[in-house]
Amino acid sequence: MQDAPVALGSREDFIAALGDLRAQGALDARDESDLIRQFDETLDEFQRVRGDLVAEYERRTAEQGRDAADGWLGEAAQALGREQGTRLARLFATLPALTASAG
């Protein structure tokens, strides 16, 4: 059974959640650092892709109309979310402290 995703509002929320795990002994300093680095890389990539999406959305709006562009954007956003979620899930799966408590 898959756990429900945890919504984190910001980088600070993410770091605080990791700090809680570390305080509980479920995460060591190296794993915490790796997760923060990966979070930052994912956020940087998202910001880059976001710029590409805006440009493509504007092009599609001009060429195909707003409804078609909105439909495309919804699909693109879902695909991006799945991709980023899969990337982070793979990272979490490599951390023994987190996978041991999930079983």
Domain boundaries, the chain: 18-97
Binned at pLDDT 50, 70 and 90, residue 5 comes out as very low
Binned at pLDDT 50, 70 and 90, residue 98 comes out as low
Rounded CA separation 27/78 (Å): 30
What pLDDT digit, counting tens, does each position of 65-85 carry? 999 999 999 999 999 889 888
Collect all residues with Cβ–Cβ distance below 8 Å to 42 and sequence separation of at least 6: 84, 87, 88
Is pTM beyond 0.75 here? no
SS3 91: helix
Binned at pLDDT 50, 70 and 90, residue 15 comes out as very high
- The whole-number pLDDT of residue 68 equals 97
SS3 4: coil
Number of H helices, E strands in the chain: 4, 0
